[in-house]
Amino acid sequence: MNQYVSRRGSSRVAPRLRFPTAFPGGHRKPRRIAMLSVHTSPLHQPGTGDAGGMNVYIVELARRLAAINIEVEIFTRSTAGGLPPVVELAPGVLVRHIDAGPYEGLAKEELPAQLCAFTHGVMQAWAGQRPGYYDLVHSHYWLSGHVGWLAAQRWGAPLVHAMHTMAKVKNAALAAGDTPEPAARVIGETQIVDAANRLIANTAEEADELVRFYDADPGSVAVVHPGVNLDRFSPADGRAAARARLGLPKDALIPLFAGRIQPLKAPDVLLRAVAVLLDRDPTLRSRMVVPVVGGPSGSGLAKPEELQKLAARLGIADVVRFQPPVGQEQLADWFRAASVLVMPSHSESFGLVAIEAQAVGTPVVAAAVGGLPVAVRDGVSGFLIPGHDPQAYARALARFAESPELVARMGAAAAAHAQGFGWDTAASATADVYTAAMHEHRRRVRPLHV
């Protein structure tokens, strides 16, 4: 353990630590892994319910792992009757549906009570296989981590876990009126950190948070930046063509919000900033469109029409367009059509949407939180805003309104920046983490057998 890292209960603050970006080595990589995603299926449409960036992450990572000869079987909860037990997502990637609780109407907060049933289903799927069928377990989010903890122990395999978001971090940056994460989740995450052989963090800041908030061993944490599908998210035929396909004005200022509509993502900050901007310059109203692409999620489900009502109260309902969640191909067109993507989130483990938008050549205005300072090059591919003051976001948007050439200049820099975030690189680094976890696990287990 690093000498600066305190044990639980100590008030000492750890300085920023250096974390490996992977664990390279000349040992055997896994042949087949079990990937766990309890609360959201990789087959679900991102932007609906609890489906978001993590869904994209799992799908893209699994595809790229299979391409380097690591078979992936993804276990997820059945959310509809009649789903086939097994679906081939791609060559070398299977999705296994597990019955655990009612198919529909089960909130994420109710899922801990179904973990026993889910674990039983995973064990049943494994029971017919030979010993050592899975070389490793990779769990995503804390609910999956608890299943992975038991499965890895039962199978004699190492556990690699990715938090994606953390309760203590979210609770430290709650949006006004949002609901804190429960103590049960905090305890559960702490247990998973202790149990996992390796932890994958999206950024160095997230790795620091694992050490600072959960007392993770820095030697077990690897930083692997998520990737972006550079084939799908590319400039393609440009902004004008995308606007024509979506029925948007050719010369409008279009600040876009894309994602789940909930207080954590703070779409209200964009609407308030637009109201400030139009109050300062009413002439913008005739040449501004503000698309909000996504559906209510999480605590946003309590008031699903709250954002529409806010637009009306602010007097900007005429410029705001609410669009339901769309598939990845059409989402890429929305990014191309936008003048700028706005991400005022209160917390983001990485901010995959920011990289996707930049990959098509669209700059980003984002909160300087979580992984967004890694995803966005401040002053080059976009602007990072400290805090969530609508006035600050309005000033950033005004720069694009006053200097339309800024969209093209920053957009070109954004596309170049995004080239460093391909999924092939992320998959290769993740495979290195797997290899190191397997090597260490064998080294620990072998003396016990002797």
Known binding-site positions for Mg(2+) = 335-336, 338, 362
**Annotated binding residues, as ranges?**
39, 45-46, 50-55, 108, 141, 165, 185, 260, 265, 326, 335-336, 338, 348, 356, 362
325: helix, strand or coil: coil
**Annotated binding residues for UDP-N-acetyl-alpha-D-glucosamine, as ranges?**
45-46, 53, 260, 265, 326, 348, 356
How far, in Å, CA of 23 to CA of 204, rounded? 15
How far, in Å, CA of 96 to CA of 224, rounded? 26
Answer whether 16's CB lies under 8 Å from 208's CB. yes
**Annotated binding residues for 1D-myo-inositol 3-phosphate, as ranges?**
39, 50-55, 108, 141, 165, 185
Answer whether 85's CB lies under 8 Å from 143's CB. no
Read off the tokens for 52. 């978001």
Contacts of 163 (CB under 8 A, 6+ apart): 141, 142, 145, 189, 199, 201, 206, 210, 349
Gyration radius of the chain's alpha carbons: 22
Q: Which residues of 10-40 are buried (b: 16+ CB within 10 A; e: fewer)?
A: eeeebeebebbebbeeeeebbebbbbbbbbb
Beta sheet of 32-37, edge-to-edge order: 86-90, 93-98, 71-77, 32-37, 136-140, 159-162, 198-201, 221-223
